[in-house]
Amino acid sequence: MSTPSELVVDRIERARLVPVVVIDDANHALALAEALSAGGIRCAEITLRTSAGIGAIAAMAELDGFTVGAGTVLSPEDVDACADAGAEFIVSPGLDASVVARSQQRGLLALPGIATATELQAAARLGLREVKFFPADRLGGLGTIIALSAPFPGMRFMPSGGVNVDNVGDYLAHPSILAVGGSWMVPRSMIAAGDFDAITHLAADAMALVASLQSPERQPA
């Protein structure tokens, strides 16, 4: 039987896109989740970069079929607050063993950020098979991931930072990529303005792009 974190990995892998959300008003969170769902995206990473993060996680967790995680998680106390709010996965900008341990204790998927082979090896020692690669665009992007995946063939990566419509296809075509994190479909200003119809359109366009990248005519012979 799969563990809760393994089920979350499966949902993220099937989603392929994880919107990285910076939200200023938790009252917008449920409408945002509904807008993303209407566009075909049923997951999101809510960062703790604002005071609205925890409340937004709690609101989104109420939407049936929507997988919500927490980003910018920096301490075990952050993990507890996010878990209590209903987060199902924990994303941090760097590798912190105490954050990983608390996430595992709470039954949550931990996706710590790594930037080097040393950090990746440390993540593997912690029993992790999935990590965030951040900031992807500053660290060499897919080329660096390909280099890192060679000595760690069982590791899966979720690149974030500089992922956009122009390079998402390159990332998703590589087998070591679990999913990508991006913010182009959830502009902070658009969320603040309550322009959720526009977000639905952006989400639908993003999912259509993913579908086109996976279509048979684009597969290698």
Residues with catalytic roles? 45, 132
- Which tokens sit at 175? 């087998």
Distance CA 90, CA 131 (A): 11
Q: Other C-beta atoms within 10 Å of 7: how many? A: 14
- Which tokens sit at 140? 């060499």
Check if the beta carbon of residue 149 is closer than 8 Å to that of residue 161: no
Q: Other C-beta atoms within 10 Å of 132: how many? A: 28
Return the exposure string of 62-79: e unless at least 16 CB atoms fall within 10 Å of the residue's CB, then b: ebeebbbbbbbbeebebb
